[in-house]
Amino acid sequence: MDVNLSIGVIIEDVNSKRKYRIVSLTNETCTLCNMNTTKFELILYSVADICDLISENLLIIKPNEKEIFDINMLPESAKQKLILKKQMMNEILQLYRPSYIGLMGKTSRPELKEIMEKHHVKKANFWKICIKYFQSGFKDISLVDKRYLGSNKGKSYNLSAKPGAKSEYFESTGVIKNDEIESYYEEALKDYKSGRQKTIRSAYDKMNLKHFSKVEIINGIETLVLLPESKRPTIRQFRYYVNTHMSKEEIDRIKTSAQEQRNNKRLIVSDVLKDVYGPGDMVEIDAVEADVSLVSELDHNKTIGRPINYFMVDVFTRCIVAVSVALDNNSMLGLTNLFLNLADDKKQYAERFGISFENTDVWPSSFIPRRLRVDRGSDFKSKEFNRICVTLGIEKHIVPGGSGSLKGVVEQSFHQMHSQQNVHLENYGLIEKRHDSNHHKEATLTIYEYTQMIINFVLFHNQQYDKDYHLTKEMIQNGIEPIPAKLWQYGVNKYGYPRPIPVLEQYLYDLMTPVKAKISRRGISYKNLWYLPFNDSELAREMFSAGTKKIPFEVRIDKRDVGAVYYKRGNRLIYAPLNQQITGNADYAGMTYKEYEDFRKAKSSMDAHGRVYNEQLSANLYAINESIVSSSKKENYSDKTKIRENREEQKQLTSKENNIKQRFVSINDNTIFQEDKSKNITNDENVLTNNKEDYGDYDSFQDAIEAFNDEF
């Protein structure tokens, strides 16, 4: 019997009905967290024993819960608390990997106390957070105050009360941080950054004098007096804001200089493995334009230029853990492609391009790195990427500009990629730094074929012996070869597996772009597209309540396909496709956001020309109507008596002018029916004469003419 064990899986004891969560898994042992207790309880078991108990039906595997939430829907204070809790838990996981058994027992742990002091968390509160996080299988939703998740409806909470112990000497001190207070903090923080001699105290004093003071008359003199302690922030609140919005490295750089700080760091005798603990602890991300020109898959005779390669490389093992091959440079699409590939089943991904491999350890996947190192590219500094990093709980480290050596692991992988590929690409689109390079004319590879080369390179790189890797004494003693795939297995056994992706739906939801849609009685609208889900009865009530109004509604969209939007209902992810009942709406299914925007621009251009056309048409209409009305002017007033008789007379005249008979005449003779009666008869006799063959003998024909004349 095959047993599929993984981190986050729930195992239930059939007899006692107790549930346990797998929080760590190696080749031989796994760590279980007791879910039926309010205490922190971890148990170390043999993987073989658990498999035997499952095969004997003494233990059963329960499905993992798939709750999701939106960090942007939380109040700012709750959002900041969540970020700090995630940072603290990441440090705990890193420190006590792989089994986390070191957290058990009553022995003194100075490092644990140091983490609590660093994050200003008391011991009792720390263990509450730890218990929830481990029992949930490392889900971020367990760190969120339940008041903001809609699970405690009916309960009342005083969210406006300032948290913390009351002052011993004052009735109240400090203020609750809101958007206005935070804007003052940002202004003061900017002042603190503006000079080397600025201090937190000086920035705090300036903020108080500007925003939290009033003028009073003291001894006949206008004096600037600070507001009471309950109506202005404390120095501790402002210092906390500074420390959570600036790293120590940023402070050092501002208070000395970027060049001085860089030089000081570079003088330390170290390497890229310093302070890196195991797989997934630190990754490097970068993008490069490949030295090859490609052709279109639609027409192999058309050149499309250079592809953009994004790589994510694990620093500890040198494994390339994710790739993206596209045509988006400095783009969030290319960057999120990389994170999507990180969650992909690499075996299935390779099979899409006709490549197969058996050992899945060669290409690790499905984990969330703790830290990442990037340069100052516009995509890496963007607000959207910052949002993704904060949501996924990833620390972002930006290296100084022009210092590629500070992320040398990924830079070296690009160098190896080009050296391996260029020998094959010469005369097939290779871009050479020569004036006579004909790479666009020589281009032959499509992006599909080039992606095959990238996948082959990744498989080669992750199995290549790296003689320059600095092996530790322990590695040499255990015969660990400096091969990325083997270093990954060694690191997992020593430090534990990196933080897994507990709920794939949550991960994908976090990678999508938040946009402002609207709800009306027609459904969800965004950019003139209409969406309607199949399984959300609550939306129908909201649509009915909205009526003709359009109520703001936040959704997530994947800009690779505008065919659907996604939103959160409670803790469920709702999928809303394009409404096919609206004419033309479903035509855009499968289009990218860029393709749809091109259609919208074309429609806007048509609207602009149509507006000018309508203005000219309206002017012509006005001129003609004005001419008609002007020509009908007369000197005398109209006689308003006998309106009914006059109306009836005109009514009958209008009916005669619209009779059907004149239309028959017009069809047969191509002539317009004349008002003169004799001419009408003559024309009708001609019609009968021309159709003489339709009648039998001469007498019957004459009878028809006479009958016709008698009628008139």
The DSSP line for 644-689 is HHHHHHHHHHHHHHT-SHHHHHHHHH--PPPS-HHHHHHHHHHHHH
pLDDT reported for residue 258 = 54
Q: Which alpha helices (H) appear in 517-572, and where do they start and end?
A: 537-546
Contact between 525 and 556 (Cβ < 8 Å): no
Contact between 410 and 285 (Cβ < 8 Å): yes
Which residues are CB-contacts of 114 (< 8 A; sequence separation ≥ 6)?
none
| CA atoms of 59 and 16, how far apart (whole Å) | 10
pLDDT reported for residue 162 = 58
Phi, psi (deg, nearest 5) at residue 116: -60, -45
- Three-state secondary structure call for residue 663: helix
pLDDT reported for residue 663 = 79
- Three-state secondary structure call for residue 125: helix
Q: Is the peptide bond before 98 cis (omega within 30 degrees of 0)?
A: yes
| CA atoms of 507 and 478, how far apart (whole Å) | 37
CB-neighbour burial class of residue 457 (10 A; exposed 0-12, middle 13-18, buried 19+): buried
Tokens of 303: 């050149």
Reduce the secondary structure of 325-346 to three states and give it as a string: EECCCCCHHHHHHHHHHHHCCH
| CA atoms of 587 and 214, how far apart (whole Å) | 62
Contact between 547 and 521 (Cβ < 8 Å): yes
Please state, as a whole number, how many other Cβ atoms lie within 10 Å of the Cβ of residue 709. Answer: 11
Q: In the Cβ-directed half-sphere of 287, how many Cα atoms lie within 13 Å?
A: 25
Which residues are CB-contacts of 502 (< 8 A; sequence separation ≥ 6)?
8, 64, 136, 137, 138, 139
Strand partners, 325: 309
pLDDT reported for residue 174 = 78
Cα dihedral sign, 462-28-65-103: negative
What is the residue-wise DSSP string for 530-542?
Answer: EE--SS-HHHHHH
327: amino acid identity, one letter: L
Tokens of 680: 């009408």
488: amino acid identity, one letter: W
pLDDT reported for residue 321 = 96
Residue of 565, 460, 581 lying closest to 512 (CA atoms)? 565
- Three-state secondary structure call for residue 287: strand
Contact between 576 and 535 (Cβ < 8 Å): no
Locus of tokens 């004052």: 170
Residue of 130, 124, 60 lying closest to 95 (CA atoms)? 130
Locus of tokens 């239309």: 663
459-485 burial, b if ≥16 CB within 10 A, otherwise e? bebbbbebeeeeeeeebeeeebebbbb
Tokens of 314: 């694990």
| CA atoms of 165 and 122, how far apart (whole Å) | 13
Locus of tokens 């109306």: 647
pLDDT reported for residue 134 = 93
Tokens of 261: 């700080």
pLDDT reported for residue 285 = 95
| CA atoms of 102 and 120, how far apart (whole Å) | 22
What is the residue-wise DSSP string for 398-447?
Answer: EPPTT-GGGGHHHHHHHHHHHHHHHHHHTTTTB--SSTT--HHHH----H
Question: What stretches in the chain show pLDDT beneath 70?
Answer: 1-2, 150-172, 253, 255-271, 401-405, 436, 666-712
pLDDT reported for residue 701 = 54
What is the residue-wise DSSP string for 266-286?
Answer: HTS---TTTT--STTSEEEEE
| Residues across the chain | 712
pLDDT reported for residue 555 = 94
Residue of 286, 283, 456, 245 lying closest to 363 (CA atoms)? 456
What is the residue-wise DSSP string for 210-256?
Answer: HHSEEEEEETTEEEEEEPPGGGS--HHHHHHHHHHHS-HHHHHHHHS
**Maximum alpha-carbon separation in the chain:** 134
Contact between 30 and 5 (Cβ < 8 Å): yes
Which residues are CB-contacts of 233 (< 8 A; sequence separation ≥ 6)?
174, 175, 177, 181, 184, 185, 204, 207, 212
586: amino acid identity, one letter: A
pLDDT reported for residue 34 = 92
pLDDT reported for residue 712 = 47
Tokens of 122: 């008391």
| CA atoms of 199 and 193, how far apart (whole Å) | 9
Residue of 49, 52, 54 lying closest to 9 (CA atoms)? 54
Contact between 172 and 166 (Cβ < 8 Å): yes
